[in-house]
């Protein structure tokens, strides 16, 4: 085997080793985060979902007529 071939093999081994190491670190971090999330979720009090909705009354459309307004004023003026 040539010197260049040994160097290439060594580099491939180096890269493979460090890729595996990085994958393990990521997997451990994800597992730890998952465990912590489960613990946090268990510690929260269980409550029913709260649904809050407010509805404002819709004003009725008013029709203005001159005859109705005159009659209304006539009733208010008389004691």
Q: What is the pTM of this model?
A: 0.47
Q: What are phi and psi of 40, to 5 degrees?
A: -65, -40
Q: Is residue 57, in this structure, part of any structural domain at all?
A: no
Distance of CA 72 to the CA centre of its chain: 55
Q: Is residue 52, in this structure, part of any structural domain at all?
A: no
Determine the pLDDT at residue 50: 77
Q: Is residue 11, in this structure, part of any structural domain at all?
A: yes
Residue 37: domain span:
1-44
Q: What are phi and psi of 75, to 5 degrees?
A: -70, -35
Q: Is residue 73, in this structure, part of any structural domain at all?
A: no
Most distant CA pair in the chain, distance: 121
Per-residue pLDDT of the chain (79 residues; tens, 9 = 90+): 899 999 999 999 999 999 999 999 999 999 999 999 998 888 877 777 777 878 788 778 776 666 555 555 555 555 5
Q: How many domains does the chain contain in total?
A: 1
Which pair of tokens denotes residue 24?
Answer: 């393990």
Q: Is residue 30, in this structure, part of any structural domain at all?
A: yes
Distance of CA 16 to the CA centre of its chain: 38
């Amino acid at each position: 085997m040539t010197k260049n071939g040994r160097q290439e093999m060594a580099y491939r081994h180096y890269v493979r080793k460090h890729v595996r190491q990085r994958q393990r670190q990521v997997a451990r971090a994800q597992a730890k985060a998952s465990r912590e999330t489960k613990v946090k979720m268990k510690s929260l009090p269980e409550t029913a979902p709260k649904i809050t909705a407010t509805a404002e009354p819709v004003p009725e459309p008013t029709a203005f007529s001159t005859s109705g307004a005159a009659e209304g004023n006539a009733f208010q003026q008389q004691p």
